[in-house]
Amino acid sequence: MIDRIGEVIEASTTRFRAQREELDNPPAFGSFVKVPSGPDITSYAIVYNVYETSIDASRRPMAMGLTEEELKAQQPQIFEMIRLEFEAAIVGFKDQGGAVKAYLPPWPPRIHAFVGACGPEEVISLTEDLDFIRAINALPGLPTDELIAAAVRVAYQNRDCDAEFLVKAGQEIAIMLKEEYERARSILRRVGHVG
């Protein structure tokens, strides 16, 4: 059973959108999540967008000039009209045999499948060979530079701040972007801001 942080409401082979029941504690940008994608397959993805939205597309929220606490006291129904959604890019999967692959799964997640946060051992397994960096870089239309840096920082923290991993990730970024020196340098600076 997955400890769910969201439910898939839109899916493709490369990405999915999920809705969270609560507005609190959304998944962080760059965090690793998992979702079932067919018989005995688990897709792994990295969160690249988190937002709050109205459940009624024809009614946009408007500024009320009140703090969140004041709104909860005076207009509690407002929070029933807001949903938290997040989008994640699929970067790998675990197959029927339990092997982790750092490329796209054969099937997308199913609508209404539950999304869970990856545990440290799953993050370590997915980021072991650093192919996840190239997978992120290949994603069109995303803030790939920021996402690479965030995902490397998350992987580093899940590895108990293993400096050797950070050096190898930096080398992988430098090799991958050898023709784009300034871009590589910019990503490496962002990776360097680890907690």
Task: Reduce the secondary structure of 71-118 to three states and give it as a string.
Answer: HHHHCHHHHHHEEEEEEEEEEEEECCCCCEECCCCCCCCCCCCEEEEC
Q: To which H or E segment does residue 152 belong? A: helix 144-158
3-state secondary structure of 50: strand
State the Cα–Cα distance between residues 157 and 49, nearest whole angstrom. Answer: 21
Number of domains within the chain: 1
Residue 37: pLDDT above 90?
Answer: no
State the Cα–Cα distance between residues 176 and 136, nearest whole angstrom. Answer: 12
Q: Which long-range contacts (CB under 8 A, 24 or more apart) does 171-179 make?
A: 172/130, 172/133, 172/134, 173/133, 173/148, 176/133, 176/134, 176/137, 177/137
Q: To which H or E segment does residue 16 belong? A: strand 15-20
**Cβ atoms 82, 55 nearer than 8 A:** yes
Question: What is the reported pLDDT for 59?
Answer: 75
Lowest mean pLDDT among 17-26, 32-41, 49-58, 103-112: 49-58
State the Cα–Cα distance between residues 168 and 152, nearest whole angstrom. Answer: 10
> Distance of alpha carbon 61 from its chain centroid, rounded?
26
Domain span at 51: 4-191
Residue 194: pLDDT above 70?
Answer: no
- Residue with the bigger pLDDT between 172 and 71: it is 172
- Residue with the bigger pLDDT between 78 and 118: it is 118
Residue labelled with tokens 């650093």? 130
Tell me the whole-structure pTM to 2 decimals: 0.88
Question: What is the reported pLDDT for 160?
Answer: 92
